[in-house]
Amino acid sequence: MEDLTGMDVLMVVASRNFRDEEYRQPAEALAHAKAGIVVASSSRDVCQGMLGHTVTPELLLSDVDVSNYSAVIFVGGSGASEYFDNPTAHQIAQDTVAQGKLLGAICIAPSTLANAGVLKGKKATCYSSERKNLKTKGAKLVDEPVVRDGDLITADGPDSAHAFGRAVCEALAEGRPEDKPSEALKHRGEDVPRDRPPGP
C-alpha cells in the first residue's frame, strides 16, 4: 500500500450531477493512502451527485493555486460538461501540466482536458460520447478502461473508478521526491556492480 502522507490532491467536481463513484472511489483510495483531498467546484454550495452523494467544496475554481497540490483530478458525470469550455478549468489543466504535476480525468471529463489543449499527442481514453472530441483535439485514443501516459491518467467511466483511483495512487507514489535518488542509484548499479571492476 502506498503512503502518500504529505501529498494533497485537488478533485474538481461539477456543482450538480457529478458521478458519485468517480468521486468517491478515487477519494477513498487516496484517503486510505493518507493523501490529503481538497475539493473545488464552480460553487461553494453543496454539490449533488447523480446518485445522491453530496460533497461540500473547500474552494472555488477561481481560487485554485495548482502549486499547492501534487495532483489534480477532474471528476466526471453529466454535470462535468460545465467545464468543457470553462477558461478557469482550462487554466488549471494547463498549469498542472506546466508544473509537472499529475493530471487525471474520468468519464466525460477528459474532454475538458482536450479542450484545454493538453491531450494533443497523448494517449487517453474517455466515455464513448467524448471520443470524437478527443480525437479531433489530437489525443491518441486507446480502447482501455484506464490509460496512463506519463503524468496523465484518464479513465472511461464509473465502472473504472476504482482502477482509476489505484492508478492515481500508484503514480503519486512513484513520483515522491524521496524515491527518486534510490531509483537512480539502483539503475546505475545494474550495469556496473560497485564491489568489483568491470570486466569480461
Q: Does residue 81 sit within a domain?
A: yes
Q: Does residue 45 sit within a domain?
A: yes
pLDDT 10s digits, 148-195? 999 999 999 999 999 999 999 999 999 765 443 333 333 333 333 334
Distance CA 14, CA 79 (A): 5
DSSP3 helix / strand / coil % (the chain, rounded to 5): 40, 20, 35
**The pTM is what?**
0.88
The percentage of the chain sitting over the pLDDT mark of 90, rounded to a whole number, equals 86
Q: Does residue 197 sit within a domain?
A: no
Q: Does residue 41 sit within a domain?
A: yes
Q: How many domains does the structure of the chain reveal? A: 1
87: domain CATH number?
3.40.50.880
Distance CA 85, CA 108 (A): 13
Residue identified by cell 467545464 is: 83
Distance CA 132, CA 169 (A): 29
Q: Does residue 110 sit within a domain?
A: yes
